[in-house]
Chains A and B, each alone.
Chain A
Amino acid sequence: MTATRPTRRQFVTTAAAGASASLFPRPLLAQGSQPRIVVVGGGFAGATAARFLKRADPRLDVTLVEPNPIFAACPFSNEVIAGLRDMRAQLFGYDRIAAAGVAVVHQAATAVDGRARSVTLGNGTKLGYERLILAPGSDLRFDALPGYDEGAAERMPHAWKAGDQTLLLRRQLEAMEDGGTVVMALPALPYRCPPASYERASLIAYYLKTRKPRSKLVVLDAKDTFSMQRLFENAWQELYPNLEWVPVSSGGNPTSVDAAAMTVSSDFDTYKAAVANIIPPQKAGRIAELAGTADRTGWCPVDPVTFESHLAPGIHVLGDAAIAGAVPKSAFAANAVAKICAAAVAKLVFGERPAPPKFVNTCYSLAAPDYGFSIVGVYHPVNGQWLEVEGAGGVSPADAPRMFRSQEAKFANGWFNAITSEIFG
């Protein structure tokens, strides 16, 4: 266990801690003791939350629990897959977060006891908390698409968690003979960052067009419509005759895979793949389920102001794992809601009332290296649910000149640099 933690006083649990710990509890803390906040998951949401908690109130004793010493970011990993970017540009360490006064513990959380208010780590350590923040991201469901399990993912990568899987898909594309068919399978909603699957299709098509001109890409999709569809379809029409999108109404729903035979089946056809990229259905990270914060859908319903779980008091859920009205499963939103939650928790532990929040989400997608577009939403809570502010947001204009697209591609890079340096820099 890495101990960059300042020493702290033991918190004495009172009977009130478990029972009345709903929205606005009275202060539970003795004078001078530091409220302990444990954050599980050091991705976009968790790492932001840890850092901003400390910034919101230096009195807070903040521990960040994350098994990996290096974080591999998903945004822009599609460029790595297409050979347009070095994987090293995706990797971030936790030194600066530790330097900001957060205790960073490189362990996985394995259990949560909501009554005793403690988290158990892989090495058996127990951490007590006044407030727990879970930000474990999405887990892939290896029981949802027949034939697609963890073993199959070694031959047919998902690359939906950045890291080795990203590089595996990259190497397979590079090694593929010109003329081979790449097959992608996309799930139904909700899942982590749907636009990224169409960005990936575009960038794989870009790679094939420039390096494997006799190859083609078939995209089997469990959906008929998706975000920024017109923009993507226009780009495909203009740039990628080698990309065939088969939506559900054309029989594209992926129903099973056979990793040994390298085939992907829909209800009506079986496709032989030289390279297969299978994005399976998803759910909240396992620890969220273990903590009792996930509902039957596999995701975690939360309060819009505090991101406190509707199912488990004292536990907040952020990022992909949460289901919060219209809030998208993006790194941008994960970062934004983490700031909202950090501000709320910093108030709640002292019995104060959090301010009503509002935030912006902007997701950039690249159809080619110099061809970007975006979708914007401004979000506010209305009657306990996150809604988009009407009249704001929307997608990039469909008829914009290429100059506009290349500007947005540049701004996309700027966004990634800004968000990652805010969190990890």
Chain B
Amino acid sequence: MARTLINVPPKAKRGQIIEIKTLISHVMETGYRRDETGAPIPRDIINLFVCSYNGTEIFRADLHQAIAANPFITFFTVATETGTLEFRWTDDNGQVEKASARITVE
């Protein structure tokens, strides 16, 4: 359904504040358009973004109309331990797109 990009520093010092960047390109349907027969085309946008760090949720965003066709979300967190950051985007059809990145904490 979509293509994702993530940017997580591969290495960090324990306690360091790190910046995480994410982007999903998703074929947006605003919900305001109609097809040839005049029937409304159902809305399909990314409505939820969640990031977890070694299984613990550290960031969540509920997304609505008029934010972005291809949401670019960037946030900060503290590098606590070596492990995996997992990212999940959910759209109106319930489809989930996943991505993950390893981080080594020294």
Tell whether any CB of A sits under 8 Å from a CB of B in the complex: yes
In the complex, whether A150 has a CB less than 8 A from a CB of chain B is: no
In the complex, whether A249 has a CB less than 8 A from a CB of chain B is: yes
Which of chain A's residues have a CB closer than 8 A to the CB of B7? 267-268
Which of chain B's residues have a CB closer than 8 A to the CB of A268? 5-7, 21, 23
With CB as the reference atom, state the residue of chain A lying closest to B6.
Answer: A268
- Per the 8 Å Cβ criterion, residues 17-68 of B in contact with A are 21, 23, 25
B contact residues vs A (CB 8 Å cutoff): 3, 5-7, 21, 23, 25, 69-70, 72, 74
Which of chain B's residues have a CB closer than 8 A to the CB of A248? 70, 72
The answer to whether B69 touches A267 (Cβ under 8 A) is no
Q: Residue A249 contacts which of B6, B21, B70, B74 (CB distance < 8 angstroms)?
A: B70
The answer to whether B72 touches A250 (Cβ under 8 A) is no
**B44: min CB distance to chain A, Å:** 16
Measured CA separation A293–B74 after assembly (Å): 36
How many residues belonging to A are interface residues under a CB distance threshold of 8 Å?
7
Which of chain B's residues have a CB closer than 8 A to the CB of A267? 5, 7, 21, 23, 72, 74
Which of chain A's residues have a CB closer than 8 A to the CB of B23? 249, 251, 267-268
Measured CA separation A267–B25 after assembly (Å): 14
Instruction: Given A250-B3, A267-B74, A268-B23, output 19 extra A-B contacts at Cβ < 8 Å.
Output: A224-B69, A224-B70, A248-B70, A248-B72, A249-B23, A249-B25, A249-B69, A249-B70, A251-B5, A251-B23, A267-B5, A267-B7, A267-B21, A267-B23, A267-B72, A268-B5, A268-B6, A268-B7, A268-B21
Interface of A is mostly: loop
**A247: min CB distance to chain B, Å:** 9
Measured CA separation A268–B7 after assembly (Å): 5
Measured CA separation A248–B74 after assembly (Å): 14
In the complex, 21 of the A-B residue pairs with CB atoms within 8 angstroms, ordered by the A residue number, are A224-B69, A224-B70, A248-B70, A249-B23, A249-B25, A249-B70, A250-B3, A250-B5, A250-B25, A251-B5, A251-B23, A267-B5, A267-B7, A267-B21, A267-B23, A267-B72, A267-B74, A268-B5, A268-B6, A268-B7, A268-B21
Measured CA separation A250–B23 after assembly (Å): 8
- Per the 8 Å Cβ criterion, residues 236-271 of A in contact with B are 248-251, 267-268
With CB as the reference atom, state the residue of chain B lying closest to A247.
Answer: B25
Measured CA separation A250–B26 after assembly (Å): 10
Measured CA separation A248–B72 after assembly (Å): 9
Measured CA separation A390–B74 after assembly (Å): 40
By CB atoms of chain A within 10 A, which of B3, B5, B69, B74 has the most?
B5
Closest 7 CB pairs of A and B: A249-B70, A249-B25, A251-B5, A268-B5, A268-B7, A267-B21, A251-B23
With CB as the reference atom, state the residue of chain B lying closest to A250.
Answer: B25
Measured CA separation A268–B19 after assembly (Å): 12
With CB as the reference atom, state the residue of chain A lying closest to B23.
Answer: A251
Measured CA separation A251–B70 after assembly (Å): 10
With CB as the reference atom, state the residue of chain B lying closest to A253.
Answer: B72
**B5: min CB distance to chain A, Å:** 4
Which of chain A's residues have a CB closer than 8 A to the CB of B5? 250-251, 267-268
With CB as the reference atom, state the residue of chain B lying closest to A255.
Answer: B21
